[in-house]
């Protein structure tokens, strides 16, 4: 039984990832800001729940009261906004959660992560390309990929791997928020807005959480021991 930590485990991809590890018999800790959402993820009471602010160094350090074999840095946030209209606090908050949060989580994990450990960052196709109204999010996610590729070199000889999963639009509450933004900005209905969001995906559909979970499960497996510094894209051929 492995000790597994999933940040941002209260909803969306994080919830699905945590529940998948638990279903396979791992001892899972889920962490996030909202205790109510974490409790919903842990409805069967089999997981350990920790409240954390991934942007706060002391809070992250307190989360690591035990060694973890698998750490999934999934906590993230994002909003659509033009650079010309973006207040500095929005920029700073986006980078703090999406990039600094991954740095703090991985740095703390390395204190006592055993050989064979797995560091997995939830990145994005926005780690690999830009997008209108997504500058802060894309900048943060580009940074995550740079961190992953650099850290992979640092930990390689210890038997630890560090990789990223890069999904496109996944059918989650965050994607629903993006759809509603498009509806408002473009004055279109829900179906049209969703169609516009997935237009860059050759499969022309939202990605399911299960499809992202499968990528995480592989990177966490012993069979992936030579996969290191990799960005595993789950986006139907978009990248």
Domains of the chain: 3-168+208-234 (3.40.50.720), 169-206 (no CATH)
What's the confidence (pLDDT) of residue 175? Answer: 78
Q: How far apart are CA 178 and CA 105, in angstroms?
A: 27
Q: How far apart are CA 53 and CA 218, in angstroms?
A: 27
Q: What is the mean pLDDT of residues 153-181?
A: 91
Q: What is the mean pLDDT of residues 10-28?
A: 97
- Please list the active-site residues: 137
pLDDT, tens only, 65-117: 999 999 999 999 988 899 999 999 999 999 999 999 999 999 999 999 999 99
Longest dimension (CA), the chain: 53
pLDDT, tens only, 200-232: 899 999 999 999 999 999 999 999 999 999 999
- Residue matched to tokens 């509603």: 180
């Amino acid at each position: 039984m492995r000790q597994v930590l999933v940040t941002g485990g209260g909803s969306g991809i994080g919830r699905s990832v945590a529940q998948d590890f638990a279903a396979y018999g791992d001892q899972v800790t889920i962490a996030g800001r909202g205790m109510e959402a974490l409790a919903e993820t842990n409805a069967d009471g089999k997981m350990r729940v920790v409240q954390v602010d991934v942007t706060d160094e002391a809070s992250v350090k307190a989360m690591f009261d035990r060694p973890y074999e698998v750490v999934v840095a999934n906590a993230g946030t994002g909003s659509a906004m033009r650079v010309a209209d973006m207040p500095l606090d929005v920029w700073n908050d986006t980078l703090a959660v999406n990039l600094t949060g991954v740095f703090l989580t991985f740095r703390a994990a390395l204190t006592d992560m055993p050989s064979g450990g797995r560091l997995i960052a939830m990145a994005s196709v926005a780690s690999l390309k830009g997008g209108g109204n997504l500058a802060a999010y894309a900048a943060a996610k580009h940074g995550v990929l740079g961190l992953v590729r650099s850290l992979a070199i640092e930990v390689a000889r210890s038997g630890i791997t560090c990789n990223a999963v890069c999904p496109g639009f996944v059918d989650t509450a965050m994607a629903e928020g993006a759809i509603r933004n498009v509806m408002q900005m473009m004055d279109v209905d829900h179906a049209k807005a969703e169609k516009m969001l997935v237009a860059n995906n050759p499969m022309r559909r939202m990605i399911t959480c299960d499809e992202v979970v499968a990528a995480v499960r592989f990177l966490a497996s012993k069979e992936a021991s030579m996969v290191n510094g990799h960005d595993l894209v789950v986006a139907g051929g978009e990248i």
